[in-house]
Amino acid sequence: MRRLVAETRIHPAQLVLPMFVAEGIDEPRAIRSMPGQVQHTLDSAAREVERAIAAGVGGVMLFGVPTAKDAVGSGASAPDGILNVATRFLAERFGDATVVQTDLCLDEFTDHGHCGVLDERGAVDNDATLERYADMAIAQAEAGSRILGLSGMMDGQVEHVRTALDAAGHLDTAILAYSAKYATALYGPFREAVDSSLTGDRKTYQQDPANRREGLREALLDIAEGADIVMVKPASLYLDVLADVAAASDVPVWAYQVSGEYAMVEAAAANGWIDRDRMIAESLTSIVRAGADVVLTYWAIEHAQLLGTHGLGAPTTGAGR
């Protein structure tokens, strides 16, 4: 009866799996702050994508972890950079069996860890960064990425990248704009996952957690610039922003259940403080209930398999009373 009258349902295709592919490793390397997650080799990444396809997951979002970094993140646009190599490897192997997507940001590739190029004062130079994003976009599209995740939060990034893609003939490469991306404490485990070099914070270009209306305003600006999809990140603590964007947007709205959200649930479950499976299901249900069309989550394969066991779209938030 509960399943019959449920107002919110999740399909496996609404889940996207974020994945880290590292250069210079011979076997998957565990991420200590994200139990169950690893930095992949090319071969282990392929096996994980196979699992995702079998479970019905909608796509994978790739992050590169390079061995060498510099001030402008040269490896991000180099054809032999780890992210572009991994994208090409997986796109050629799996074709249209899944949607290979890529993170378009410099933070994994810069020796200072910021999402952009720095000026002589050590501040992020917005316009110089846009030029690097354009180079990255073309490199990722040529490698086979179908959706580019613009996560750097630079002003004008969507329009600049769209113009560059169109000029290079990549008219069908879609742009996922991380429109409402907040400067949150929840990114902590991700910094370990990508071997971040960041010291300090990104408050000058990510949004203030106190601001709700700003999230909607940023999303509408990105839509006006040509975004095909807009993102709210993180998800769980920003469901009000997500609901606002979903109500106003005429393009798909996605949300990212980030590393800190994952780590908190895993830690609490490991201590026996919460029911892990129910918490995963409830957290994802709340994000979709707030208006997300798709959720990026590290539990994508696991939850898709659970949905398949219970019947596609069946709520799995427990039989407890």
Annotated domain spans of the chain? 2-310
Residue 312 pLDDT exceeds 60? no
H or E segment and range at residue 65 = strand 59-65
- Please, which residues have CB within 8 angstroms of residue 41's CB and are 6 or more apart in sequence? 21, 22, 25, 26, 27, 28
What pTM value is reported for the model?
0.92
Average pLDDT, the chain: 91
User: What tens digit of pLDDT does each residue of 195-237 get?
Assistant: 566 666 666 768 899 999 999 999 999 999 999 999 999 999 9
* Active-site annotation holder among 69, 181, 202, 303: 181
| C-alpha of 22 from chain center | 16
Strands (E), 89-154: 99-104, 147-150
The pLDDT, as a whole number, for residue 318 is 42
Summarize the chain as % helix, strand, coil (round to 5): 45, 15, 40
Helices (H) and strands (E) in the chain, counts: 11, 10
* Active-site annotation holder among 160, 162, 233, 303: 233
| C-alpha of 228 from chain center | 15
User: What tens digit of pLDDT does each residue of 24-56 get?
Assistant: 999 999 999 999 999 999 999 999 999 999 999
Residue 303 pLDDT exceeds 50? yes
User: What tens digit of pLDDT does each residue of 89-118 get?
Assistant: 999 999 999 999 999 998 888 988 778 888
181 is catalytic: yes
In CATH terms, the superfamily for domain 2-310 is Aldolase class I (3.20.20.70)
Spatial separation of the C-alpha atoms in residues 131 and 95, rounded to whole Å: 29
233 is catalytic: yes
Q: How confident is the model at residue 154 (pLDDT cuts 50, 70, 90)?
A: confident
Residue 194 pLDDT exceeds 70? no
The pLDDT, as a whole number, for residue 319 is 37
Q: How confident is the model at residue 274 (pLDDT cuts 50, 70, 90)?
A: very high
Would you tell me how many other CB atoms lie within 10 Å of the CB of residue 233?
Answer: 27
The pLDDT, as a whole number, for residue 203 is 64
